[in-house]
Chain A
Amino acid sequence: MTAYIIRRLLYAVPIALGVSIVCFALVYIAPGDPLQTLLPEDASAETIAMVRKAYGFDKPIPVQYLIWLGKVVTGDFGMSIATGRPVLGEIVKALGNTVLLAAGAVLIAFTLAFILGTIAGYRVGTPTDRAVTGFAVIGVSVPNYWLGIVLIIIFAVELNVLPATGMGPRGSDTFNLFDWNHFRYLLMPMVTLSLIPIGIIARTTRSAVAEVLNQDFVETLRAKGLMEWEILLHVLKNALPQVLAVMGLQFGYLMGGSILVETIFTWPGSGFLLNKAILTRDLPVLQGTILVLAIIFVATNLVIDLLQTAVDPRLKRG
């Protein structure tokens, strides 16, 4: 197993390097001189000369990449053009909020989708199954940014029971998860973001449960005279690893894919930061945020892969 872990880790290194190359290239595919895109428009000639030297823009591109990589590895993502503050600080601040949102969304999705998927998988082909499957199709087809707007219309505009945007009441700096006055700000973005994972996890659970039910050991359990709920426990235990893996992947996906929902609810997470960076053409922030989010995605996938093999050694991949 240790050898396997090391091999998977070594596999992830080239991927991470590739990701960093793509992020590095972002500044170069942007129209205009890369130097200009990294600096505010009113930068003085001295600053320009200083940055040119610091970033090594006078050197060949592969060398520039290595210089950039060296900086990034030590946590130096450059300065934000819009705020003038270090990019890393901005990302770290935003990342916590996105973790909160994505974790909440995935938990909601798992709870609901696991129940729905189990029911459907237990009764494949029945109207109940078709209803759940249909619901799952809608879940993955709904533009979640639209659902967000519809929720705002219903709960903030018409009913006026939940705040439309923001994070916490005016004047509070910290978010307290266990205070209703804070938590209500999280509610709508969390539900909106959970929609797609609900669809995907429900589908996975359904097929996993249906597959396990077809295995011989279920027949044996039934012949042994176990109660139906006891059989269900056995089935769920076997279906769970697969579902948990998909849930983990969805968490990684939401971490990087929450930009639309965060924009609608002005939830100050990494997606919102990204949107601000796009609007102000703040390329250092854009580059840094995307790099961090992509690396998180790679790391999540790796951890899930390892956990899954730990639970079920048959899944080992070359």
Chain B
Amino acid sequence: MTDITANSMQPEAAEQGAPALKVRSYWQTVGYRLRYDYMTLFFGAVVVLIILSAIFAPLIAPMDPYETSLIKRLKPMLYQGHLLGTDELGRDILSRMLYGGRISLAMGILPVLAATLIGGSLGVIAGFVGGRTNMAIMRTVDVFYAFPSILLAVAISGALGGGIFNGMASLTLVFIPPLCRVAETATSQVRNLDFVEAARATGAGTFNIIRVHVLGNVLGPILIYASSMVSVSILLASGLSFLGLGVTPPEPDWGLMLNTLRGAIYVNPMVCALPGFAILITSICFNLVSDGLRSAMDVRM
């Protein structure tokens, strides 16, 4: 690289720095790197497409996803305008998959967002305050860490009972501990650096130090980690629905569709595999985009 990258630790200093050199801020550098990472751009575009198709499902879905038909059950692909065939109740699978994306994506993304907010704040507080607060928060987090993620999700939504909200609540709880740990580690590293000491010496309050100096340096690692959790969350959410713990029928959802179509595996095997394929593609794309973000946001590069 011929241009000089601003030190991510001092975004402010970079802005006021010598104007003779073309200096980029941290986020500009990330954007610059991403612009030439065609792999990530491509998979990012696919992710955007999937999200858009879910948002605009009512406009592009060829049929009513709830309309059942006794005579048109489990028909193969391309049957009477049913591009991907029909399910066990004669509903159009393509329309149900488009609508299903809404719930599957929401159940995958919202818990990660909520957990990023909650877990991230807890971690920053634990890391910055230290001492007993840190002990209390981190030891509690350790307990939830002691469960395999799917087991914790199943345990909580299993006890609460099915439903979208319960499913999302249990997933949020699953993702709080790892995000809290990442935030705590990053914060406690920043806390002891000289510029925080300097800010404190100039009379900055705790809140301002956290807002300006800590968050600026901690947000990156938290966001990278959170983005890698989205694909895990989508898999877990569909898994919960598959077990009957997420969406309640007749609402369309990829995991639930996979479960109900499973009964028709000997009648129309190809159709059963479709909703799972949607989960797979979404999960792979989110995973690769997250990998791309990780390398774009890596300060050491």
Q: Using a CB–CB distance below 8 Å, which chain A residues touch chain B?
A: 14-16, 18-19, 21-23, 26-27, 29-31, 137-138, 140-143, 145-146, 149-150, 152-153, 157-158, 164, 252-253, 255-257, 259-260, 263-264, 274-275, 277-279, 281, 283, 286, 290, 293-294, 297-298, 301
Task: Write out the residue numbers on chain A whose beta carbons fall within 8 Å of the beta carbon of B245.
Answer: 278
Of the 9-residue stretches B23-31, B92-100, B121-129, B266-274, which lies at the interface with chain A?
B266-274
Contact between chains at B243 and A259 (CB < 8 Å)? yes
Q: Given A19-B143, A19-B147, A153-B272, answer yes or no on A141-B155 (Cβ-Cβ < 8 Å).
A: no
**Looking at the complex, which one of A143, A253, A256, A286 makes contact with B280 (CB distance below 8 Å)?**
A143
In the complex where A26-B155, A29-B159, A158-B269 touch, is A145 in contact with B288 (Cβ < 8 A)? no
Are A30 and B160 neighbours in the complex by a CB distance under 8 Å?
A: yes
Q: Closest residue of chain A to B147, judged by CB?
A: A294
Partner of A18, one of B143, B283, B284: B143
From B140, B243, B258, B279, residue with most partner A Cβ within 10 Å: B243
Not counting A143-B238, A290-B151, A301-B146, a sample of 7 additional A-B residue pairs whose C-beta atoms are within 8 angstroms of each other reads A18-B142, A26-B159, A149-B262, A157-B265, A286-B155, A290-B154, A293-B148
CB <8 Å contact, A141 and B269: no
- Which chain A residues border B235 with CB–CB below 8 Å? 141, 143
Q: Given that A30-B159, A146-B273, A286-B159 are known contacts, is A294 also in contact with B146, CB under 8 Å in the complex?
A: yes
Give Cα distance in the complex from A137 to B40, angstroms: 14
A286:B273 contact, CB within 8 angstroms = no
Q: Are A141 and B148 in contact (CB under 8 A)?
A: no
Question: What distance in Å separates the Cβ of A58 from its nearest Cβ neighbour in chain B?
Answer: 22
Residue in chain B with minimal CB distance to A145: B242
Check B151 against A293 for contact (C-beta < 8 Å): yes
- Please pick, from B150, B266, B273, B287, the residue contacting A260 in the complex, using a CB distance under 8 A: B150
Give the residues in chain A near B147, CB-CB below 8 Å: 19, 22, 256, 290, 294, 297
- Interface pair B144/A153, CB less than 8 Å apart: no
Q: Are B287 and A29 in contact (CB under 8 A)?
A: no
Let me know if B146 and A143 touch, CB within 8 A. Answer: no
CB neighbours of B76 from chain A (8 A): none
> Is A275 within 8 A of B243, CB to CB?
yes
B146 touches A18 (CB 8 A): yes
Q: Cβ of B35 < 8 Å from any Cβ of A?
A: no
Contact partner of B154 among A30, A149, A253, A259, CB < 8 A? Answer: A259
Q: What residue in chain B is nearest A290 (Cβ atoms)?
A: B155
Task: Verify B151–A294 contact, CB threshold 8 A.
Answer: yes
- Asked whether, in the complex, the Cβ of A256 is within 8 Å of the Cβ of B231, the reply is no
CB-CB under 8 A from A18, the residues of chain B are 139-140, 142-143, 146
Contacting pair A138 B284 (CB below 8 A): yes
Q: How far is the CB of B288 from chain A (nearest CB, A)?
A: 7
A-side contacts of B231, CB under 8 Å: 141
* Chain A hits for B291, CB < 8 A: 137
A-side contacts of B279, CB under 8 Å: 143, 146
Q: Is B276 an interface residue (CB 8 A)?
A: yes
Q: State A29–B273 Cα separation when bound (angstroms).
A: 35
Q: Which residues of A contact B243 (CB under 8 A)?
A: 259-260, 263, 275, 278
For A143, list chain B residues within 8 Å (CB). Answer: 235, 238-239, 276, 279-280, 283
For A301, the chain B residues whose CB sits under 8 A away are 146
Residues on B with C-beta less than 8 A from A150 are 273, 276
Give the complex CA separation of A140 and B291 in angstroms.
13
Contact of A145 among B142, B239, B265 (CB under 8 A): B239
B148–A253 contact, CB under 8 A?
A: yes
A297-B280 CB under 8 A given contacts A22-B143, A146-B273, A153-B265:
no
**Among all A-B residue pairs, the 8 with the closest Cβ atoms:** A146-B276, A18-B143, A256-B148, A256-B151, A26-B159, A153-B269, A141-B283, A141-B284
Q: CA separation between A255 and B139, bound complex, in Å?
A: 24
**In whole angstroms, how far apart are the Cα atoms of A275 and B239 in the complex?**
12
Q: Return chain B residues, CB-CB under 8 Å to A263.
A: 242-243
**Nearest chain A CB to B263 CB, angstrom units:** 11
B residues 249-281 near A (Cβ < 8 Å) are 258, 262, 265-266, 269-270, 272-273, 276-277, 279-280
Is B158 an interface residue, CB under 8 A from the partner? yes
Pair B280/A29 contact, Cβ less than 8 Å: no
> In this complex, what residue of A is CB-closest to B286?
A141
- Considering the complex, give the chain A residue whose CB is closest to the CB of B240: A260
A-B contact pairs, 18 of them (CB 8 A): A18-B140, A19-B143, A23-B155, A29-B159, A30-B161, A141-B280, A143-B276, A143-B283, A149-B272, A150-B273, A157-B265, A274-B154, A278-B245, A281-B161, A283-B159, A286-B158, A293-B151, A294-B146
Residues of B within 8 A of A294 (CB): 146-148, 151
Question: B128-165 CB contact bits vs A (8 Å, 1 = yes)?
Answer: 00000000000110111011111100111011110000
Contacts of A26 in B (CB 8 A): 155-156, 158-159
A22 to B174, CA, bound (A): 13
Cα separation A260 to B154 with both chains bound (whole Å): 10
A75 to B176, CA, bound (A): 32
Residues B269 and A279 in contact, CB atoms below 8 Å apart: no
Q: Do the beta carbons of A278 and B150 come within 8 Å of each other?
A: no
